[in-house]
Amino acid sequence: MLAALAIGVLLAQLAAFSLGFFWHLTHDGTVRFLEWRFRVPAGFCAVPRHDHPEMIRFKPIVPFWPYRSPIAGSFAKQSTINIFGNLDIRKSNAEPNYVELEATVVKDAISEGLTQQFKKRFDTAAGPAICLQFGAPSMTSIRCYFQRNTALVVLYDGEPQFSDDVYSLVREIAPVR
């Protein structure tokens, strides 16, 4: 009985690793959205949604283990990266108020019980990116927007150790050729 449980746990861990690994082998490791290409971080797999790409990192769960994440079959979503595009903003010629946009992002995060940790700025092919990082116990939330391409928004919710993967994804955005 214990041996069967141990084998089951081992298989679940192997399957969780394989989801991301095999996705990267069968795709070119990137997703395309609007006119941009994003590199999918190692260990994540991309899931097409009807209006945006989502990148998910799964981890296996052990039956009867005290686990806090929502359960989906034998796996729990560990971390997710979502890329959204707002075509209405993109078609508008009006320059957005970035101070107001940032204040709204901070207000929304605080209303969700998060505390602001820091702000980072990156130069990217899509223009300057502003990323705001928020935290809660054992969770990180990163919200990035692009100043010259306000149609793009990158959102991350997950474990803190994958924050650098999100910043790499933002820095390495490239136009689709």
Instruction: Going residue by residue through the chain, which has 177 residues, state the pLDDT in tens, using 9 for 90 and above.
Output: 656 655 655 555 555 455 555 555 666 788 888 888 888 888 888 887 778 888 888 765 555 444 444 433 444 557 888 887 764 544 555 666 778 888 888 999 999 999 999 999 999 988 889 999 999 888 899 999 887 766 688 999 988 888 999 999 999 988 887
SS3 for 151? coil
Residue 104 identity (one-letter amino acid)? T
How far apart (Å, rounded) are the C-alpha atoms in residues 79 and 83?
14
Exposure letters 135-161 (e unless 16+ CB within 10 A, then b): beeeebbbbbbbbebbbbbbbbbbeee
The residue segments making up the domain with residue 64 are 2-175
CATH of residue 88: 3.40.1000
